[in-house]
Amino acid sequence: MISDLRVICPTDYMTLIASSAFTSNVYRYVATFATSQPSSPFGGSFKSRYAFHGVDSFAFFGTFDKLVNPPSETEILFQNIFREEIMSFVKSGRPKSKDWKPYPASTALVSEVTNVTSGYHTAECNFWLRNGFFSYAWIN
């Protein structure tokens, strides 16, 4: 619920505005990967057992060893899949997954595999937007 209010829904809204304003395609993804063991990605005493904001950065830069040491096969698999999707986009303007369409037609859920959905938390996001909660969002 809080991730919807603070991150997911505002990013959906921002992506919708970008896809309407840009002439180039805009693609949206949500990194749903959870590390193989609890980790404290940004310090602090709380160890996360779920996907967290920024897990994609650890995959892109190959720094999972800063979270879990040694990185498991699942961390390496997510890292490879995420990099393949991003590098395909950089080289061709399209992600590697053929069923991943420009936003708002689809959103990719990237983990050890890339799953594409036509909407991610759409009902929840419509609720937050309709009821004036956008001011509580974290805008990245």
pLDDT tens column, 87-100: 999 999 999 999 99
Type of residue found at 39: S
**What is the rounded CA–CA span in Å between residue 43 and residue 45?**
7
pLDDT digits (tens, 9 = 90+) for 40-64: 888 878 888 888 888 999 999 999 9
Low-confidence ranges of the chain (pLDDT < 50): 1, 5
Supply the range of the domain harboring residue 48.
2-136
Contact 48, 77 (CB under 8 A): no
At CA 64, angle to CA 14 and CA 10, rounded to 5?
Answer: 10
Q: What is the pLDDT of residue 57?
A: 95
Domain count, the chain: 1
CA distances from 97 to 13, 76, 86, 121, 123 (A): 23, 18, 10, 21, 25
**What is the rounded CA–CA span in Å between residue 116 and residue 112?**
13
Write down the pTM of the prediction: 0.86
Q: What is the pLDDT of residue 138?
A: 63
